[in-house]
Chains A and B, each alone.
Chain A
Amino acid sequence: MTGAWRWALVAPAVIGLAAALAPLLRYWFELPDPIAVHWGIDFRPDGSLPRRTAFWPPAALVGGILFVALIGSARAYAVGRAVRVWLVTFMSALAATVSAVTVFRNLGRSIWTEAGSMTPGLLALQVGLPLVLATVAGAGALLLWRDVQPPAPASAPPLPLATGERAYWTGSASNGWLLALGGALLVQAAVLQTAVPQLRALTVLLPALVAAAIALEFVSRIRVTIDRRGVQVRYGHLGLWTKQLPLGRIVAVQAVDVDPLAHSGWGYRGSLLLFGRASLVVRAGPALKLDLTRGQRLFITVDDAATGARLLGALLERETAAHGAAASTPSGP
């Protein structure tokens, strides 16, 4: 897979930003300064920006989303590409429609507070059009750029494990960015608590920030161990919280490369219980792909997943052999 598809990320961003800038420049002298850029819940204008800076927030948003979409895009595969194209197209088109609606409501007014009201129809158009465009572009990307071959490297042969041999494997995955983000949330919580007295009334804010910081710490580093009992995942630097997967729950194992954006982001994504699919994504790169009983599937990112997969494969083989022997014993004599 070459990187040509990435033009499908850059092009919508450039077109969207050009389309956002065009009406602003075309009607520059017919717009108030500052210009109304935000409408309240009563559909009246309630926020403004100087005319010269009105373009920067959407530009920063589109630029930011393009940056995020380009992270790890080189190793993205089908779903990851479609999700990226969808995101960038949606944000770029949104920038364009928001700009068009903003210019339309400000046009010919002398002061921003007199800008026209927002209407449900305009709102629906403003969000609906980008949704449609993004979905078309995403579906197009899915159809146009198929995977030449499965991105998963072929499962390595199981580790040769003789009878009487006991084995243990441990590997970890960590992501300093997630930890830093958690720390930033704690700082934010502390600042809000001390520096903004009005916010103390929002009693839910502080616990929510702290809870988010703890959740981020839990997925900023995980350690996986594999032994005769199965797979164990320890969350966080202290490994206080663990998840057990007995050998009997696991049907097959493979080492694969994971792209966070194809797994809807970092952290614990999905739910085995609700969707039968879950991914524990700490960072991009090697991961264990576990097929579980009841048709469930779990991805766990971990360094040197190849070795772990080989050991787990051997343990599964041994388990199957033991069960086969146990099943045939009663019919023997």
Chain B
Amino acid sequence: MLIVIDANGPTPLYAQIASQLRRAIAEGKVRAGERLPPARELAESLAVNLHTVLRAYDELRSEGVLDVRRGRGVVVVGAGGDRARLVDLARTLVEEGTRQGLALKDLRKLLGEV
């Protein structure tokens, strides 16, 4: 599982980490039932605050991709792969739309046309 973040980029670090995790899960680098590394380890490796990683994990948990259990660590939930890919695509769409100056309702209209 590879995670690359850009400390100088415009996207918040937690969002970058979440996006990289989503991609890793969608690509099957981490399979359902497998554990993600402890947040502390990831934070130390990437030289970011522990809460940044925890926020990324929390975001994926609320999307139903991860299951965070006390004592068992962070586990990838089954069938999260497809949804994770979809969420990642949607996020890319929103990001690209924002960059081109499109509001959310413009994007909705666009999605309707597609």
| Chain A residues packing against B (C-beta within 8 Å) | 159, 161-162, 164-171, 225, 227-229, 304, 307, 311
Contacts and interface: CB of A to CB of B under 8 A. Distances in A.
B47 interface: yes
Contacts of B29: 304
B3 A167 contact: yes
Contacts of A162: 6
Given A164-B7, A167-B2, A167-B4, 17 more contacts: A159-B2, A161-B4, A164-B8, A165-B5, A165-B6, A166-B6, A166-B47, A167-B3, A168-B2, A168-B3, A168-B42, A168-B46, A169-B1, A225-B45, A227-B46, A228-B45, A304-B29
- The binding surface of chain B is classed by DSSP as mixed
B95 interface: no
A309 to B, nearest CB: 12
B41 interface: yes
Nearest to A229: B45
Best-surrounded residue of A162, A166, A171, A307 (most CB of chain B within 10 A): A166
Nearest to B34: A172
Contacts of A161: 4
Contacts of A227: 45-46
B41 A169 contact: no
Best-surrounded residue of B5, B42, B45 (most CB of chain A within 10 A): B45
B12 interface: no
A310 to B, nearest CB: 9
B interface, size bucket? 10 to 19
A169 B2 contact: yes
B78 interface: no
Contacts of A304: 29
A170 B47 contact: no
A165 B8 CA distance: 8
Interface string B16-59: 00000000000001000000010001100111100000000000
B5 A307 contact: no
Interface of B: 1-8, 29, 37, 41-42, 45-48
B1 A228 contact: no
Contacts of A168: 2-4, 42, 45-46
A168 B1 CA distance: 8
Given A164-B8, A170-B37, A304-B29, A228 B47 contact: yes
Contacts of A169: 1-3
Contacts of B1: 169-171
5 contacts: A164-B7, A164-B8, A304-B29, A307-B2, A311-B2
Contact of B4 (A165, A170, A171, A225): A165
Contacts of A159: 2, 4
Contacts of B45: 168, 225, 227-229
A167 B20 CA distance: 11
B46 A225 contact: no
Best-surrounded residue of A161, A162, A170, A227 (most CB of chain B within 10 A): A170
A165 B7 CA distance: 6
A327 B45 CA distance: 26
A184 to B, nearest CB: 25
B2 A225 contact: no
Given A227-B45, A228-B47, A166 B7 contact: yes
Best-surrounded residue of A162, A167, A168 (most CB of chain B within 10 A): A168
Contacts of A166: 4-7, 46-48
Contacts of A164: 6-8
Best-surrounded residue of B1, B6, B46, B47 (most CB of chain A within 10 A): B1
B21 to A, nearest CB: 11
Nearest to A227: B45
Contacts of B4: 159, 161, 165-168
B47 to A, nearest CB: 6
Contacts of B37: 170, 225
Nearest to A162: B6
Nearest to A308: B2
Contacts of A228: 45, 47
A221 to B, nearest CB: 12
